[in-house]
Amino acid sequence: MNTAGAQLRVSAARAVHQVLQGRSLKAVLAQERTAFADGRDRALLEAMTVGTIRHRRSLEFALGRFLSKPLAQSEPLSHALLLVGLTQLHLLMLAPHAAVSATVEAARELGKAAHAGLINAVLRRSQREGLPVSDDIGIHENHPDWLLTRLRADWPEAWADIVAANNRVAPLWLRIPGAAQQRDASAAQLQAQGIAHRISEIAPQAIRIDDAIAPTQLPGWLEGRVAVQDLSAQLPAIALAVKAGETVWDMCAAPGGKSAQLLEAAPAMLLLTDNEADRLPKIKELFARLGFAEDAAALQTLDATQPLPESLPQQFDAILLDAPCSATGIIRRQPDVKWHRREKDIGTLNTLQWRLLKNAWRHLRPGGRLLYSTCSVLKAENESLIAQFLQQHADAKALPLDARFGRVSGVGRQRMPGEDDGDGFFYALLERNV
């Protein structure tokens, strides 16, 4: 009896069930992986859980063909365990006997012994027959219908590439703080340790790691010479191009990766804000690891849609608004976004983005720059929103961004998920006329 293997499947089924109930995949995995000390077990748990969520629609379709009546409502844990079982056999290609045996044992561990025979039969049948495939594009492409409709309308030439990228595993990207010499030194250390990597030609501090490795195991991690940050997420700070001595506001700062980039530019004052107090410690933790002084920036919990309190500076030379969004550009990293996000959410997000943008403009000095970015690929949150803002603000003009920032999208630029192995991001650089 493979008790350890069964426990992994138990945790994966619990995680999948919780995500399907609306919980964050990242939060659930963080909770479930604590039961396993071995990095290989943690990696398998993540692969089973993330793979199931990523390909949920096609797995649900196949399961519906194998079952005479659905389990989802009456027995959600057994249903989740079946999905995990199909993922092991048909996506991860694990050894069939061990995978089926451990999954059946997991049913007993979950107190679902009555379903052990059914789970065994379904998984064995799927081995013999393969997974049924649907002609429905939403099921086949593992995206909700509403999102596919939006993507096809916004990006008629690129939507299929976006969907394909969303269904792939994202690589690990690092940012190496400091000048080019630091990145060269880090690359040399990676080379010496046999860690496959690639230096980006787009972001001067970016390195992609090709091997599956925990960031904490990378050379330079403990010394603060390495930070995890996607290629596309490194570009907003580059676009804003903060100069030494400027006053800067990072409006939605947590978890702090972009804030650290801004701080390296030596601004005279850097204000970091977030509307959730429990997110600010993450910024402090990152800054401490990277070697910044505790008072290097001012951290505040506040609602950035409202005017800043008089105790804080009222005018800034540069503002970074990395706005809350649908996260449709980072689905390959967070596949639960596909199932948690609803079309009606876009209008709510638009209202929030508009209020943040208006308040940012209130606090931008004449001649100052504002960089608006999102990790969305939907034009309603990006190109259309900025076009509306420019139409209503005669004192605003767009500044050009070069091809590093992606394809032209209105006055901004859009990077698609998977392009240069980066996430999907939108960027628009605005200047307030004097």
Predicted confidence at residue 198, as pLDDT, reads 96
**Whether residue 1 has pLDDT greater than 80:** no
pLDDT tens per residue, range 268-309: 999 999 999 999 999 999 999 999 998 999 999 999 999 999
**Whether residue 238 has pLDDT greater than 90:** yes
CA end-to-end span of the chain, whole Å?
A: 74
Catalytic center residues: 375
**Whether residue 39 has pLDDT greater than 80:** yes
Tokens 């409006």 appear where? 251
Q: How large a percentage of the chain has pLDDT more than 90?
A: 95
Predicted confidence at residue 68, as pLDDT, reads 87
Confidence of residue 70 (pLDDT cuts 50, 70, 90): confident
**Whether residue 352 has pLDDT greater than 90:** yes
Confidence of residue 434 (pLDDT cuts 50, 70, 90): confident
Predicted confidence at residue 2, as pLDDT, reads 62
**Whether residue 224 has pLDDT greater than 80:** yes
Predicted confidence at residue 211, as pLDDT, reads 85
pLDDT tens per residue, range 81-122: 999 999 999 999 999 999 999 999 999 999 999 999 999 999
**Whether residue 341 has pLDDT greater than 60:** yes
User: What value does the mean pLDDT of the chain take?
Assistant: 96
Mean pLDDT of 49-72: 93
User: With a threshold of 0.85, does the pTM exceed it?
Assistant: yes
List the beta bridge partners of residue 160. none
Mind spelling out the 3-state secondary structure of the chain? CCHHHHHHHHHHHHHHHHHHCCCCHHHHHHHHHHHCCCHHHHHHHHHHHHHHHHCHHHHHHHHHHHCCCCCCCCCHHHHHHHHHHHHHHHCCCCCHHHHHHHHHHHHHHCCCHHHHHHHHHHHHHHHHHCCCCCCCHHHHCCCCHHHHHHHHHHCCCCHHHHHHHHCCCCCEEEECCCCHHHHHHHHHHHHHCCCCEEECCCCCCEEEECCCCCHHHCCCCCCCCCEECCCHHHHHHHHHCCCCCCEEEECCCCCCHHHHHHHHCCCCEEEEEECCHHHHHHHHHHHHHHCCCCCCCEEEECCCCCCCCCCCCCCEEEEEEECCCCCCCCCCCCCHHHHHCCHHHHHHHHHHHHHHHHHHHHCEEEEEEEEEEECCCCHHHCHHHHHHHHHHCCCEEEECCCHHHCEEECCEEEECCCHHHCCCEEEEEEEECC
Burial class (CB in 10 A: 0-12, 13-18, 19+), 189: middle
pLDDT tens per residue, range 363-413: 999 999 999 999 999 999 999 999 999 999 999 999 999 999 999 999 999
pLDDT tens per residue, range 126-176: 999 999 999 999 999 999 999 999 999 999 999 999 999 999 999 999 999
